[in-house]
Amino acid sequence: MIQNLYEDEEVERLDRDALKALQLLRLKKTITTALITPFYKERLMAVGIQSAEDIRTLEDIRKIPYTTKDDLREAYPYGLLAVDRDEIVRMHASSGTTGTPTVIYHTQKDLDNWTNMTVRSLKATGCHKGDVFQNMMTYGLFTGGIGLHYGAEKLGMLVIPASSGNTRRQFQLMKDFQTSTIHATPSYMLHLYSRMEEMGYSLSDFNLKRALIGAEPHSEEIRQKIEELFHIDAYNSYGLSEMNGPSVAFECTEKKGMHIWEDAYLVETIDRNSLEPVEDGVEGELVLTILIRTGTPILRYRTKDLTTVIPEACSCGRTSRRITRIKGRTDDMLIINGVNVFPSQIEEVIMKMPEIGTNYLIKVSKKGTLDQLTIQTEVGGDMFTDNAQDLHDLRRRIVEELQATITIKALVELHEPGFLPVQQGKAIRVIDERNVY
């Protein structure tokens, strides 16, 4: 019975001992599956793991080396396939913008498991049968769009597979079909609002209740801005294609961190320098092992994402631990004149200011031998019709707040709405020109 608990809402409220017993059972099965692959057979044998029986406790997973994105690329295309090819019904891949893409294979059972996790995630945010779900994420090899699509259908929602872009069509669909739930990147949600009046629509035309936002790191200030602009609830989510994409972790209606579904994922956080484990409540790099996939098992995957595991139980009653919103990636950190800066720190500062619009860009360049940090941001149109002193005061406030937060004095440029480019997919927020020759 315990093997099928992931299909039952009981698993969300299992006590910790029962949950750990389920994790250990599934970890053993995952080890057995991983030993079939050429990649993991060599790696596990090298550390003395010849069968699942060599894993006696959850802590034994620390005997296994970490898996990285480079490992997945080296295993391309079939080095991590653990079943016969005729059992595979779908593959997903990273964008492959740099180097060889990472490829993940799914059996039908794998897809069913993924869908079950998505249903659970949607329910946690209050979605229910009869909701109209407009999916504004890209469809294709990227998992963001199709991942939530199947879960929403299974839950009984009316799914509109709008995909990304074509803002005018998005508004028309939202109005005609009275969309109640949107799935989009936070940057696209802000773009929607900035174009609403121009395209002849107002909030009264719609029936929006909630937005499910993800696919790019964003601050609490961005979430609050979306909620205030649209008068809806916005829920943070987390996923990555190596771990099935959407529904690795999702906020519940309490909005106090994202529940990471521990019956499906074994969670570790490590110090990004020493690679040693850190305790719950301490920020670290998230490391995940997927426990519900046979097509492509992945053990101890270094996500490069920085977060903190929240040890306290959630008031919603779910017993799976939560993670804080992703602060950034270890490889996204900027070093500016010797100071470590995360883009999320800059976003938190500028988005607290009501005069700031919905788009911004961070540029890093060289000025002589020193690094120069420049923040370009749009402001409300009325700021350009009043006293120029208002712009001067706003620019000064931003410079001072940034310096107090990141210790660096930035150059701040204020622009009219529409000045900065808009991305239809994941927003490009940082341009580092120091390595361009």
Query: pLDDT tens-digit profile of 257-269?
Result: 999 999 999 999 9
Average pLDDT over residues 362-385: 84
Strands ordered across the beta sheet of 301-307: 265-270, 284-290, 301-307, 328-329
Q: What is the mean pLDDT of the chain?
A: 91
Enumerate the CATH 3.30.300.30 domain ranges in the chain, comma separated.
334-432
Predicted pLDDT at 384: 67
What is the pLDDT averaged over residues 93-118? 85
Looking at the chain, the domain(s) classified CATH 3.40.50.12780 span 1-330
- CATH classification of 334-432, choosing from 1.10.10.350, 3.30.300.30, 3.40.50.2300, 2.40.50.100? 3.30.300.30
pLDDT at position 436 over 70 = no
pLDDT of residue 424: 63
CB 380 within 8 A of CB 416: no
The count of C-alpha atoms lying within 13 angstroms of the C-alpha of 311, restricted to the half-sphere facing its C-beta, is: 7
pLDDT of 195 strictly over 60: yes
Looking at residue 9, what is its pLDDT?
72
The pLDDT of 410-427, averaged and rounded, is 83
Q: What are the tens digits of pLDDT across the range 31-65?
A: 999 999 999 999 999 999 999 999 999 999 999 99
Query: Among residues of the chain, what percentage have pLDDT more than 90?
Result: 69
pLDDT at 6 over 80: no
The average pLDDT across 194-223 equals: 93
Average pLDDT (382-390) is 73
CATH topology of domain 1-330: Rossmann fold (3.40.50)
Tokens of 39: 């990649």
pLDDT mean over 196-220: 93
Tokens 């492509």 found at: 296
pLDDT, tens only, 236-246: 999 999 999 99
Give the tokens for residue 336: 């500016």
* pLDDT 10s digits, 287-334: 999 999 999 999 999 999 999 999 899 999 999 999 999 987 877 778
Q: What confidence score (pLDDT) does residue 435 get?
A: 64
- What value does the mean pLDDT take over residues 142-149? 91
Of 369 and 325, the structure prediction assigns the larger pLDDT to 325
Cis peptide bond upstream of 77, omega within 30: yes
| Residue 427 and residue 361 in contact, taking contact as beta carbons nearer than 8 Å | no
202-216, 218-232, 350-364, range with the lowest pLDDT: 350-364
**Pairing of β 258-260 and β 245-251:** antiparallel
pLDDT attached to residue 98: 47
Model pLDDT, residue 96: 46
What's the pLDDT at 257?
A: 97
Predicted pLDDT at 8: 59
